Homo-oligomer: A and B are copies of this chain.
């Protein structure tokens, strides 16, 4: 394990992406989203993904310089065709447009088709919160979860995310896959040569497995049984059908080497202008009251504090912003290799650790 300076990793990412034809502004967006994930402790969605995005840009399965098309319908619907651009680029542009619209209308629904993996949903939730908005975000993804009663991966692990600004506290950021665990964690375990716990996944024959490579060929268990299946279906309909995109068995994995087809991932965002519901200060006051009141309730055995979603993420962000980002040897080797291919030297570590 080596520790790296975040700005140096960001700069490396931008150089790699621009070398592959991504516009400077768009490369900055992607690098910002990736490194934000690392800073927040969500390494599964961080710079470890740069390699696969780069491969897909190289073999033209992702369009480095998309012409994203927007169409406004009614006062509060925005439909977006991502032109097969990087998901972070397409989604960030869509959120920017949505923010302009929602200040007028109060609510905006954004359906996005022809996109790609957009990283963490929380990244877009934070953007909304910075603009005093509440948000619900959904995305589909390649097949991961079997329908209830089935044994073939059909739905993506389809996250649902929420963002709510707070008063004196960092925002409430909820970002959860509708699978028992995010597929990204299984991908990372595979990359780091680790096994996965019981109950996370089934192999392609429907048998429980601890081998992440076998799990990636099989299916991930839904969150809380049949309810998780129902939530995955809802996310699929919003992101894959109402967006005008593809639904999950037709969403291609960026990890699939054999296919040359675009991934055609769909996203769905709902933006809410809090000011249209009440004075913003009233909302902030109530949010602080809720969080503080909750934190003061009696603790369960073994717990010293009650944390709200987004709190640990923010603490980790503060810590890693100071101390740097730890990369495993596997991830580092992959990035060095990537740097060699595109002729961008991978930076020196700040320090090394045995881990």
Contact = CB atoms under 8 A, between A and B. Distances in A.
13 contacts: A74-B105, A76-B107, A77-B105, A77-B107, A111-B277, A147-B297, A148-B307, A151-B297, A154-B297, A174-B234, A241-B287, A241-B290, A249-B293
A270 interface: yes
A236 B52 CA distance: 38
A223 B233 contact: no
Query: Which of A111, A176, A230, A270 gathers most chain B CB within 10 Å?
Result: A230
Contacts of A249: 293
Contacts of A228: 224
Tally of this chain's copies: 2
A7 interface: no
A306 B148 contact: yes
Interface string A174-201: 1010001000000000000000000000
Nearest to A152: B297
Given A174-B233, A176-B227, 13 more contacts: A74-B105, A77-B273, A77-B277, A107-B108, A107-B109, A134-B242, A149-B303, A151-B297, A162-B234, A164-B234, A206-B301, A233-B309, A242-B278
A275 to B, nearest CB: 9
Nearest to A242: B277
A155 to B, nearest CB: 8
A243 B277 contact: yes
A150 B298 contact: yes
A236 B308 CA distance: 13
A146 interface: yes
A326 interface: no
Nearest to A79: B277
Contacts of A236: 290
B306 A75 contact: no
A217 B297 CA distance: 16
A271 B247 CA distance: 22
A150 B300 contact: yes
Closest 9 CB pairs of A and B: A74-B106, A224-B224, A77-B106, A149-B303, A76-B107, A73-B276, A75-B75, A77-B276, A107-B109
Contacts of A230: 174, 176, 309
Given A277-B79, A277-B244, A300 B206 contact: yes
Interface in A268-325: 270, 272-274, 276-278, 282-283, 286-287, 289-290, 293-294, 297-301, 303, 305-309
Contacts of A34: none
B298 A152 contact: yes
